[in-house]
Structure formats: C-alpha cells, structure tokens
Amino acid sequence: MGMSLQKGGRGYLAEINVTPFVDVMLVLLIIFMVTAPMLTQGVDVDLPKTRSVRTLPAGSDHLVLTVNKDGGLFLDEYNVPFEDLQQHLMNLVVNQKKQLFLRADKEVPYGVVVKVMGEIKSVGIEKLGIVAESSETNVPGKEKKPN
C-alpha cells in the first residue's frame, strides 16, 4: 500500500502508487481529445471558391470576422451587432495589434460585404485578409489538356 516495513523492521519505506494517477491522466487525455475539435468549430458559412488559397496562420495573433448568409456578423464565434462593429474592432484588433480576416458566405450580397469592409477601413485597419476555399475546378477558357 502506501508504506511498508523494510527488512528487519527498522523503519518505513514510503512508496507512491502511480496507478491511480495514470488512470486519471488517461481519462483526462481522452476527454480533451474528444472536446478539442468541438471547441475549434466556428460559424458555418459556405465560402466562395478560388484557385489560389493559403491557409490561415496558426496561433492567436489574428481574428476572423464572419458574415453568414443571413447577414449576421461574428467576430471569431461571438455575435456582434453591426452598430457595435467599430468599437469591437478597435478594442480587439487595432489596440491589440492583431491581424483581421474576413469570411463571407458566397450568398451574401456584394453590398453587405462592401459595407462591412467600409467599417473595417474606417477603424484604421489597412491589411485585411479574405478567406476562401480552394476550388478543384478549372477556370473557364483555361481547361487542362489530357496527357
């Protein structure tokens, strides 16, 4: 158990039983492995497709502003009313010197996207990344010739 007598009965030897510790750690590891993918899900949008796409940088030095097909605005996964967008961008992007990326559903009218981009520009954000999906289809007029 926790302590046992040494040879000859001269004293106690303290031993730590690590089996319960390992059991608890394995359970916690499984819980984190199951819940981690759920935490990274954001707002569901159907992104437009383009040929040249780079992945978003990893880390917490950027924020993503999402416009869903209903016109709702989400800064990362938090809903932001359009009236409060400038204040949130000032506090979370400009003051913390983070990079901003814009994700807009392909069904959002162009005017709404331009209006949002105008709000972003009015806050003083000069560099804005646009998020899109990679397309597997060819551009019309530039079909690949079979080998």
pLDDT in tens, 57-96: 666 688 889 998 888 899 888 889 999 999 999 998 888 8
Residue 143 lies in a domain: no
Residue 72 lies in a domain: yes
The span from the CA of 94 to the CA of 117, in Å, is: 15
For 35, the token pair is 């819940």
Asked if residue 57 and residue 21 are part of one domain, the reply reads no
Length of the chain (residues): 147
Averaged over 28-54, what is the pLDDT? 72
Asked if residue 98 and residue 56 are part of one domain, the reply reads yes
Residue 145 lies in a domain: no
Residue 69 lies in a domain: yes
Domains of the chain: total: 2
Residue 144 lies in a domain: no
pLDDT at 132 over 80: no
